[in-house]
Structure 1
Amino acid sequence: MSKYLLDKFLYTVDRDPELVERYRADPQGLVRWWEAERANTVLNCHTAEASTWLRFTPAERAALIAHDHVALFQLGAHPFLTLTLFIAMFERDNTEPLEYQKAYAARLAHFDLPYPDIAT
């Protein structure tokens, strides 16, 4: 499991409106593409430097494809990164102010302290 890779995915997708829309429309395709093309690039590095070993676990891949922020939290993804990306993808589907954020929080309400470790 790589909490770093989960957080890197959430961070990089959230910062690109085209990737946000691709993730919303075709999560499986975007996750596969991102893992093949971006997972092993150095974050915020504009050179050709890259690694070769980073891969999502089956559980991580499934949670990303399902847009399952509860499973991502259990796997150690940072909840603020998940929240900001999912707001960009799903807030437009709601009519009430903060409706998506309240639903997001309600789905995480069953967690007690200590929360899953979100350190990378």
Structure 2
Amino acid sequence: MSKYLLNKFLYTVDRDPELVERYREDPRGTVEMWEAEYANRILNCVGGESSTWLRLEDDEREALATHDYPALFGMGAHPFLTLTLFIAMFERDHEPMGFQTEYARRLSHWTLPYPDIAT
């Protein structure tokens, strides 16, 4: 499992309004495209530098493709990254603070110690 790659997905998608909308409308296609085109790009690097070995695990890919943020949290994805991305996608479908409340409710079964979010 690569918490780094999960967090990189959340980070890069959240910072691009077009990717946010694409992920909202076609999550599985967006995950597949992102893994093929973005996963091995080096963050904040100018030019064409990239690596060749980073890949999502099947369970990570499935959680991303189904917008399963409780599963992502359990895998160690950073909660601030999941929250900000999913707010961008789903806040409009809820009353004010409704999505944040839903997010908290769906993660409420977790108790300390939370899953390790260190990468």
Q: TM-score, normalised by structure 1?
A: 0.98
Distance of 1:110 and 1:17 partners within structure 2: 31
2:78 matches 1:78? yes
Partners in 2 of 1:89 and 1:25 — Cα distance?
Answer: 9
Q: Distance in 2 between matches of 1:66 and 1:15?
A: 20
2:59 is matched with which residue? Answer: 59
Shift of 1:37: 0.5
TM-score w.r.t. structure 2 length? 0.99
Partner of 2:107: 108
Q: d(CA) in 1 for partners of 2:50 and 2:115? A: 29
Residues of 2 paired with 1:113 and 1:59: CA distance? 23
- Residues 1-120 of structure 1 mapped to structure 2, 5 A cutoff: 1-94=1-94, 96-120=95-119
1:44 Cα deviation from its structure 2 partner = 1.0
SS in 2 for 1:21: helix
- Runs of 4+ in structure 1 deviating by more than 4 angstroms, as ranges, are none
Stretches of structure 1 lacking an aligned partner (at least 5 in a row) = none
Alpha-carbon distance, 1:46 to partner: 1.6
- What do the CA deviations read for 1:41-65 (whole angstroms, capped 9, x no partner)? 0011121110000000000000000
Q: Percent identity?
A: 71
Gaps of 5+ in 2: none
